[in-house]
Amino acid sequence: MDQTTKPLLIPPQFALYAEKHEIFELYQRMLSQLIIHKPEDPMQFLIDLLRKDVNSSATIVLGPPASGKKTLSKLLSKKTGAVLLNQNNLIESMPNSLKNELSKEIKEKSLQPHQWVKIIRHRVEEYDCVRKGWILENFPETRPQALALLSSGIFPKHTVVLTGEDSMLLERAAGKRVDPKNGDIYHTTFDWPQEQTIQNRLVIPEKYTEEHLVQSLMVYNRHIEGVLDCLKATTKKINVDQPKGDVFNQILDFISRPARSHALITPRILLIGPYGSGRRTQASALAKKYDIVNVSITNLIKEAVAHETVLGLAIKPHLARRAPIPDSLVVPLLVERLGKLDCVSRGWVLHGFPRNRDQAEALERNGLAPNRVFFMDIPPDSIMERITLRYLDPITGERYHMLFNPPPTQEIRDRLSQKSTDQEPIIRTKINLFYTTVRHMIDYYENIGIHINADQDPNTVFESIESGIVNPVPKAYDEDTTSS
């Protein structure tokens, strides 16, 4: 039955639920596995699939010889807990039945692509790979291998390709040393082991003459384009001519970003920044581009007071005394606004709230947790520059800035007036108040908070906010497993 005969009416609240539990991605995995495997009994197949489904990582690491892919994959596997697979340990861990079947090819090192894929498939379906994810190093080496891998239904979620100048790689290879005991790789200048005992047992790897290396580089360069063409949707190239730690961090950053999902998200955005950081500008730009609701807490309060609603009347005396308005009045106001249909179905961008951790928790409690949080970082001096030089022409209503947008004539210059609150001491207290509370909010939104450099041109700031919205939030690996 298709959509037109049986329209599915889904209540807006379900969108929140689906987003929280990643229902869309779950469906996607279920359907793609069904289509790949085409089981005779789809129900049992789905039951089995859901039982072991954990959405674990699937990474391929490729690179020219001497680019450090072995070392980096090892580090990566240590950090993420994923199982490291390379051609040697794949063959070793093969079950005997497969070993006997392919013994001739293994001896002659002439495994065909489909045979390789059979081995890999066998391995990645094992419990530990399914559970913890896998990192496949240095495979596929050729285009037929890549195609065989994909057509058997093994799709990497991320493909890391290390790149580097040939001359740099040759130079690197010259200093390469191997620990014969466990196969770890070191380098005479860049990566020399600390312990004396390891230093002493290091040997120069065999088959590492320059001639041999040039040969294998040529082979690599011949095949890599074809391989990448198959995997281009998930590929990221990383230059290895940098310190090992930097390269590693780039890779980790890449693989901890889940692949971009096609799921529709309802944006629920918080902009947190000091007075003058451009929250209002950015919020209205976002609202315009994505057709989401721009919710400003100050406007909301003013509106409530002007309409003399119950809450508005309660707020009025606080406003008149210029006293802070208690959360018990602001939160219900906000809950009411964000609970309206336009906010629920189209999404919202909120600024001016929360101002402290309590308020952030209040949002969460009322089921209004944001899915993107931006901290607009800007030095206080830039704020001063932005605000204290702001002037208004009382006759035309035009706004000028002494530095960025000066008035064209002396006549206008003379009649300009400044807002009474645009004075340095007032702004200074506002900024200081912000910085005393923002720390707690940074802690609170540790996992989803994104820091934006707001001391830039508004369009540039807007672009960085956009990229934060479009890309999924990276998942965090526990710090205690950090190596190196």
Partner 1 sequence: MSDQEIINRQAEAEEYLKKHKINDLITNITSHLVFNKPENPKESIIEYLERLKKSKMANLYPPCLFEDQNLQSIFGMLDPSGKGHITYRQYAEALKTLGIFDFDTDPDGRSEDKIKMDAFLREAKNGLNKINATFNKTK
Query: Where on the chain is the footprint of partner 1 (CB under 8 A)?
Result: 1-2, 5-6, 8, 10-11, 14, 17-18, 21, 23, 26-27, 30-31, 34-35, 38, 42-44, 46-47, 50-51, 53, 147
Amino acid identity, position 116: W
- Minimum CB separation of residue 28 from partner 1 in Å reads 11
Residue 44 vs 453, nearer CB to partner 1 = 44
- Minimum CB separation of residue 365 from partner 1 in Å reads 18
Q: Where are the beta strands (DSSP E) in 57-157?
A: 58-62, 83-85, 134-137
- Minimum CB separation of residue 25 from partner 1 in Å reads 11
- Minimum CB separation of residue 419 from partner 1 in Å reads 49
- Minimum CB separation of residue 40 from partner 1 in Å reads 9
Residue 2 vs 479, nearer CB to partner 1 = 2
Six-digit token string for 243: 């310190």
Residue 23 vs 319, nearer CB to partner 1 = 23
Residue 8 vs 310, nearer CB to partner 1 = 8
- Minimum CB separation of residue 51 from partner 1 in Å reads 7
Q: What b/e sequence results for 268-290 when a residue is b if at least 16 CB atoms lie within 10 Å of its CB, and e otherwise?
A: bbbbbbbbbbbbbebbebbbeee
Q: What b/e sequence results for 93-118 when a residue is b if at least 16 CB atoms lie within 10 Å of its CB, and e otherwise?
A: ebeeebeeebeeebeeeebebebbbb
Question: Which helix (H) or strand (E) element contains residue 162?
Answer: strand 158-163
Output DSSP code: residue 476. P
Amino acid identity, position 148: A
Residue 51 vs 322, nearer CB to partner 1 = 51
Residue 35 vs 395, nearer CB to partner 1 = 35
Six-digit token string for 95: 């079950």
Phi then psi for residue 345, to 5 deg, are -90, -30
Coil vs helix vs strand at 194: coil
| CB-neighbour burial class of residue 143 (10 A; exposed 0-12, middle 13-18, buried 19+) | middle
Residue 54 vs 341, nearer CB to partner 1 = 54
- For the chain, the distance separating the N- and C-terminal CA atoms, rounded to the nearest angstrom, is 56
- Minimum CB separation of residue 425 from partner 1 in Å reads 52
CA dist 281 and 237 (Å) reads 35
